[in-house]
Amino acid sequence: MDVVVLTMNDRPEAFREAMDSLLAQRGVSMRVVVVGNGVEPEGVPEGVRAVGLPVNLGIPQGRNVGAEVLGGEDAGEFLFFLDNDAVLPEVDTLARLVGEAREHEEAAYVQPRIADAGSGVTLRRWVPRLRAGDPGRPGSVTVMAEGVVLIRRADYEAVGGWPGHFFLFHEGIDLSWRLWDLGRTGWYAAGVVVHHPATSPSRHDLYYRLVARNRVWLAYRRLPAALIPVYLATWTLLSVVRIRRRGNLAVWFTGLWEGIKGGHGRRRPMSWGTVLRLTLAGRPPIV
């Protein structure tokens, strides 16, 4: 198994706890790389490879770099991506995730249940399905909470990895849709828990602009032409309802316009057969 962790050297204590929990894993063989996004990684444990990027390329491209560094003839069957403030609470967490992947051979990726260590709360956005009221229910899923996820390397490479230019937000939807279009699925292993602080994504300064821009890019890249206006209209309406502050909404519309102007990259829309499969799996690709 190949494990990729990103760092900007801004969470030294959380990073240490994350790495300690990772290196304590039993029952799996691991190669680990820490990618410094715009920094030379600090506090990297002995035996772990470190790669420093001269500039911050964003989270998805940083993950791509890490996967590539660990690629080649010695590449593991699985890739595991771990946020640098996430903790694997049991020493068999990764072994159990691999066990879930073995049991569900149709799944290109396996998503554990993410929960706050102190409260035990699993945020709605961490449950990769529309009906998120019961985070303890496992099942097939069509998107992913990309900060903690296990992916089969063969499938990851077959679809070209993460959309690096997204920088931040929605890269997991793009990747999961491509994996489904490959004929694969995703599996939510609700019985395998990983700890992560229950923080809000809006803490990021770029949040409102990038989520809007990347929604447009996602639609243009992956949806059949007839679904693009439906998808964008749905998310515009939802965003207007959900975003209370006018200033934030104005930034959101700035991002929407930025996305419409271009930059989405190569257009490779999913087949209508994939649209049907996603819909039957419980999440039509318009919401």
For 200-268, give the secondary structure using H, E and C: CHHHCCCHHHHHHHHHHHHHHHHCCHHHHHHHHHHHHHHHHHHCCCHHHHHHHHHHHHHHHHCCCCCCC
Cα separation of 259 and 257, whole Å? 5
Please give the pLDDT value at position 205: 67
Could you give phi then psi for residue 141, rounded to 5 degrees?
-135, 155
Low-confidence residues of the chain: pLDDT under 50: none
Q: Quick one: 2-199 is in which CATH superfamily?
A: Spore Coat Polysaccharide Biosynthesis Protein SpsA; Chain A (3.90.550.10)
Cα separation of 66 and 63, whole Å? 5
Please give the pLDDT value at position 287: 87
Does the reported pTM lie above 0.85?
Answer: yes
Please give the pLDDT value at position 199: 82
* Token output for 96: 């159990």
Residue with tokens 């209209």: 233
Domain ranges of the chain: 2-199, 202-280
Cα separation of 274 and 222, whole Å? 11
- Of 217, 77, 91, 70, nearest in space to 152 by CA: 77
Please give the pLDDT value at position 130: 85
Strands 148-152 and 107-115: antiparallel
